[in-house]
Structure 1
């Protein structure tokens, strides 16, 4: 239970708490009021502070705007750089000057924009400023603009310091490129001017307005005997130099007075002549120097003209001397001005044209002296004189009496003292008598030409008229041997043949010598097998000497290997002549053919050939005449007949090739003929001729070879027809060229034997007609059969389109060989005689399936394209033709047609060389014709590959 005392205590406690709480509330209320008042005051103060801050910020923004406007209004770049070299600020002018935006520029290192080569010096400049604490400094350097331009700037830099530290560098930069360019150009001009003046071949002195030397060269010092160098004189006062120089002059006072007069008058003067005590003569030019109206100084130029003066004096005295000489010589002098007006005529010229000097002076030479047809010559020479050139020319003049006079004129320009051309002088030599002589010589030359032409025609006629019947005689003698003659008849035929051969040799020697003397024999150098040629000569005489006790041996230098370049035809003729000569004078024993390399001179090998026999020999007193024309050295009388031209021709042929020939002989023991010829070694291997088919296949080919014989001579007709009948070769006979053309239109032949000299239409005309018109024989081989051995006839035969040339008289074996060369390949002939089997083996080996595919591709795809070649030629588009030929060429080798591949190579070369379209078309048709002939062979070979 609760006692009253406890209640009282509790009540008192609660009252005290209440009183304390009330007191605390009063205190809190009071504090709240104080806090409110303080907060009000603080809010008021804060509002005031914010207003002040806003006012200050507005003021700062306005100040910054004004500052930025000032900076941006300036055309120069204003920028700041920290001590580390990084841009911290840049004005907007940087974009206009260098192309960078402010954002692109700020943050770069200053060396990023400085031109290479100047970075180190600028870095040193800034380092010096920082070390020496220079408040302000100026320098210039090039920078690289954004577009790559080089811009020269000049900058003024100030240091911004805080205490003892440099916080940044502030700079103002200006574009000084134009000034720099002007300074460079000025320096270049000054340098050039200084170099020019210093290098002049004149003494030069330049003084300023105070007479101080600003430029002088070494030649000036040399002329006036000045010991100091030009560099030592620069800047020195030379106002008293006149007194020093005048002591060197012939007229000292006159020299000094003239110098002062020139300086006072300040008028340019040139060409003053000054004589020195030492005999030298100077020429002086004075030039006052002005810049606008302001006088800036003097330029003196001195030239040593002593030699020029002395030369002029010598010329003057020489002119006086030679004027008298010329007047007494057969040379007429005439002087004219630039308009061809005569200013002076010397006595001899007046006599030459029949006028007096007074009649000539003041008149134009072109008006009455020069023949009109020669005015153009004179005008051309006058143009040359205006260029300062001399010249010689012939001219026809008209004398006073109207008669012509021929003169040789040597014309030279006349110069005045300044070197200007004021006229010309002509020295005239009378050529009239020489001209008359030339006219007579020309008439004589024409007569001689007519005589040579007549001689040429005579030789051609003689060749034809003798060789034509001779051909029949030799030919018939061969045919008679086939008629089973009796021994006596055989002896008669042998005599007949020997006499005909002798006559043939006689005519050939005469014609060869005639051609040599007329200079119509030319060298045709080409690669050839030298050792093979010598073996061939040996074989020829081995066959000829069968039955006689004479051996023919060849001895070769071991170094003679490979091919050499030279005229193998000439060499063969030389050897045949020498060995033939040895054979005539050797009854028994031996004939040796020797060759050795005598010496080597760079690429040239001098090869020594010797033909040694064991015959009758030559008397010592006769050795000097063995090489003379029509000279025979025959100790046995007239046993060995001949023209006496063989060795003379041989000597000429050796010398034409640049060689020499000699002979050694002992009577009764034999002779040795030695000749030396220059040959170069060939890098190319001579292409081997395709191997001839065996005799059986030749006979088969000839039996199907259809020949057109064009011959008007009855004896030769009989000879040719008998041979062809004997060989069972089918032929058609035409009596003249016109009949040959008609026969060519009717049927195709394999070979045409064409005589040259025929009635109605000759062989050349008939060949042109066959080659130029569409007919079955347009591309068939045509062989010229002619009795003319003249080189001109062979050249014409080649030009009109003939393929070969057989000279009458010819032996049966020669005709047979020729027919074998052009006979078509028979279908029954084995393919190995036509196709390059070695190449086919290399390409395909034992892969016959692949080979069959290639042959089929060629026949089906290549041949049709090939047949279009003539049509491509007609289009006259060389680019297309070259592409087609180049494309088709390799395909021939793929089927073993190596010879046709060579022809395609030749065709491609001709296309590149620009050979005329007609020739290209003929070559194309020839290749097409040969491919058509060989198609059966290719088909047979393809079948062989397919079924094997």
Structure 2
């Protein structure tokens, strides 16, 4: 029958279909299926699948995360209501593998009973393609969104059809702002750029790479891009627009410009350097890391007697040999080992020339890359230094001889005036004697100033480091100042801060000298009023104290334009000052040098016609046992009065047998007369040989020895006496009497075996004090007893 034929045909289609067919009761599961369904789910026969619902040969959950059983109930319910439904479903094969399928559920009624027709199609291949496509899309989307370059598409009119965020950000726009913008009029730096691009792309076959394009940002600033572009075509093959990628190369272009300018500057500098090196009056050699000469100048070539082409690329050791070569080998060895010391200097001789060699290592990072060698002929400098040293020695010898020649008669003048002053004189005669003494003192001040200045200029001024009490130093200065200010009716005011240490360590004589200089100037230029001295602490630590001294007066003051120059040598406010007030112009210069040597500085505050205030600082060490406490008080006001006369004879001192070795007849008579007047017995000899003979014939308590004598001078005589005393148990004190007053004289006396030192002109009280010191066995002093003159 037709029905049977139709059923047979349906069965044939049912069995031969490429899709899986199942008939399923909504409650009781699978009723029937074709072979493709068995193959799809991996069952061997229909009995194995019968009465199973869909979720029973599916994984527990579907890809959307829903439970398979619950989802199946939901889908069947929807199909029963709607009549059909289509969805994707994952099956679980009998071997455990999962298969994605597309399912079509259709409700059919058989004999009034609802049956579900299930058609399942394996979509594994489609899923693989979809996943691959999705991954590809995601990958390209990620690349596109994170592209460091700008991407765009424009039509043939230049209208921007698309731009990524990077391009918009680079140009200072949002994506919404930039899309639909005309690049020709709004973004291209040159409005004629578009035709050029189209022409270039046509010539290149529709695609160009690394096209340099200048665009304008939203803020109108220019940027430079490298662009890769290609044509976009329509369906008819016509050009529809351009797409491209823009890379910002503005920093690179700026760097290229900077490099270009730097190269230009370097070339100019190199040319200038080569020009400078070529005319330098010293040899210049560049040596690379392999010890090859890579650059020289003409001076060096003339130095070694070769031409540049003969030494370039030669080993430096073939050109520089001998002593200099050995010296350089040692230095370059240190450089290779990583020594980065400052430029090395060495002096050597080449033939008859004295050469100074300077080396400077060249490093690239931590790698030695070569050395720069400079050779300078310093023969003339060495010869000039020798001449200067000879001139300095000649000057020192001249000053020493002049000092001796001047001090010797000065000794007689001062000594004889003292002797005259001790006699019975009329008032007029005593005034004459006092004027002689004052003139001699003035001359001695000038001599001492010149000697001090000479020591300072020669760098031979040395400071003592002995303990002293500051209050005693101030009393000495004020006492001397009072004598010099006699007749001016000036008031001296002094103040020492209570925190100034009682005892300090330094050179009290040089400190007094500075204070004497300042006080002397204050007295000289102040006709009425007062002179004040203040001392305070500037700073102090556990080892030293920096004191501040001030000397203020109410004198004539200093013009403002002279304040900064008065501390220079031979400088005074004006030339008339010397005529009106006297002086050499060295006092403040010497004071400045002394203060600087004591670790301080000196300055002045002054107002013309109202007075001046000189300040200076000086650093002194603190003795280990120093107690910082209240300072012994110096009288706050001191009237200028004369000191009491010197005592004539030290009390209790017995008559001594003295040997006087002196070649000057006047000084012989003067010294003998003074000493005999004070009760001593004096034997006078003219030279060292006579002194040795006298010592063989007579015992003496003390020897007064002139240094500069004929035949045998005082130093040799002292050495001879000390040799004679060896093993005898005797030691006769020897006091040096010298008109020399330069650096080293005292040391030479002590080295020769003398015990003390006194410089001419010698004052009676000083001479008697030193004799008393050694007569009663006082310990030897490092400092001579001498008149300190400012």
Partner of 1:928: none
Partner of 1:747: 698
SS in 1 for 2:652: helix
Q: C-alpha deviations, 1:558-599, integer Å up to 9, x for none?
A: 223421233222111112222223333445554333222244
**Residues 1:578 and 2:518 are matched in the alignment:** yes
**Residues 1:611 and 2:551 are matched in the alignment:** yes
**Residues 1:817 and 2:776 are matched in the alignment:** no
Equivalent-residue separation in structure 1 for 2:537 and 2:550 (angstroms) = 12
Partner of 2:390: 450
Q: CA RMSD in A?
A: 4.5
Out of 500, 508, 517, the residue aligned to residue 568 of structure 1 is 508
Higher relative contact order (CA 8 A, sep 6+): 2
Equivalent-residue separation in structure 2 for 1:716 and 1:667 (angstroms) = 48
- How far off is 1:732 after superposition? 1.5
Point out the structure with the larger strand share: 2
Partner of 2:736: 784
Asked if 2 retains the 8 angstrom alpha-carbon contact of 1:405 and 1:430, the reply is no
Partner of 1:483: 423
Partner of 2:668: 717
Partner of 1:734: 685
Q: C-alpha deviations, 1:531-576, integer Å up to 9, x for none?
A: 2221232233445556763444432222234212332221111122
Q: C-alpha deviations, 1:342-367, integer Å up to 9, x for none?
A: xx665759994647989998x9876x
Equivalent-residue separation in structure 1 for 2:429 and 2:589 (angstroms) = 37
Equivalent-residue separation in structure 1 for 2:484 and 2:308 (angstroms) = 86
Q: Output the TM-score relative to the length of structure 2.
A: 0.53
Equivalent-residue separation in structure 2 for 1:390 and 1:663 (angstroms) = 47
Equivalent-residue separation in structure 2 for 1:622 and 1:411 (angstroms) = 49
Asked if 2 retains the 8 angstrom alpha-carbon contact of 1:460 and 1:790, the reply is yes
Asked if 2 retains the 8 angstrom alpha-carbon contact of 1:564 and 1:681, the reply is yes
- Going from structure 1 to structure 2, the CA distance change for 1:821 and 1:543 (only over 3 Å counts) comes to farther
- How far off is 1:659 after superposition? 2.0
Partner of 1:183: none
- Going from structure 1 to structure 2, the CA distance change for 1:781 and 1:410 (only over 3 Å counts) comes to same
When the two structures are aligned, how many residues end up with a matched partner? Answer: 482
- Going from structure 1 to structure 2, the CA distance change for 1:535 and 1:766 (only over 3 Å counts) comes to same
Q: Write the mapping of 1:806-885 to structure 2, written as runs, cut at 5 A.
A: 806-824=758-776
- Going from structure 1 to structure 2, the CA distance change for 1:774 and 1:440 (only over 3 Å counts) comes to same
- How far off is 1:426 after superposition? 5.7
Out of 678, 682, 687, the residue aligned to residue 619 of structure 2 is 678
- How far off is 1:623 after superposition? 4.3
**Residues 1:526 and 2:453 are matched in the alignment:** no
Q: Write the mapping of 1:428-467 to structure 2, written as runs, cut at 5 A.
A: 429=373, 431=375, 434-435=376-377, 438-467=378-407
Point out the structure with the larger helix share: 1
Asked if 2 retains the 8 angstrom alpha-carbon contact of 1:370 and 1:396, the reply is no
Equivalent-residue separation in structure 2 for 1:668 and 1:397 (angstroms) = 62
Asked if 2 retains the 8 angstrom alpha-carbon contact of 1:531 and 1:560, the reply is no
Partner of 1:540: 480
Return 5+ residue gaps in structure 2 as ranges. Answer: 1-262, 279-283, 628-645, 783-790
- How far off is 1:527 after superposition? 2.7
Equivalent-residue separation in structure 2 for 1:541 and 1:802 (angstroms) = 34
Partner of 1:642: 583
Asked if 1 retains the 8 angstrom alpha-carbon contact of 2:554 and 2:610, the reply is yes
Asked if 2 retains the 8 angstrom alpha-carbon contact of 1:389 and 1:413, the reply is no
Q: Write the mapping of 1:615-634 to structure 2, written as runs, cut at 5 A.
A: 615-618=555-558, 623-633=563-573
- Going from structure 1 to structure 2, the CA distance change for 1:527 and 1:482 (only over 3 Å counts) comes to closer
Partner of 1:939: none
Q: C-alpha deviations, 1:610-660, integer Å up to 9, x for none?
A: 223444555556545543433445888834322222223222222222223
Equivalent-residue separation in structure 1 for 2:583 and 2:710 (angstroms) = 35
Asked if 2 retains the 8 angstrom alpha-carbon contact of 1:767 and 1:801, the reply is yes
SS in 2 for 1:644: coil
Equivalent-residue separation in structure 1 for 2:541 and 2:413 (angstroms) = 50
- How far off is 1:464 after superposition? 0.6
Asked if 2 retains the 8 angstrom alpha-carbon contact of 1:506 and 1:643, the reply is yes
Asked if 1 retains the 8 angstrom alpha-carbon contact of 2:359 and 2:374, the reply is no
Equivalent-residue separation in structure 1 for 2:521 and 2:680 (angstroms) = 38
- How far off is 1:709 after superposition? 1.1
Return 5+ residue gaps in structure 1 as ranges. Answer: 1-317, 687-693, 826-898, 907-948
Q: Output the TM-score relative to the length of structure 1.
A: 0.44
Asked if 1 retains the 8 angstrom alpha-carbon contact of 2:295 and 2:312, the reply is no
SS in 1 for 2:603: strand
- How far off is 1:509 after superposition? 1.0
SS in 2 for 1:679: strand
Q: C-alpha deviations, 1:18-40, integer Å up to 9, x for none?
A: xxxxxxxxxxxxxxxxxxxxxxx
Equivalent-residue separation in structure 2 for 1:508 and 1:664 (angstroms) = 28
Partner of 2:601: 660
- How far off is 1:457 after superposition? 0.8
Equivalent-residue separation in structure 1 for 2:607 and 2:309 (angstroms) = 80
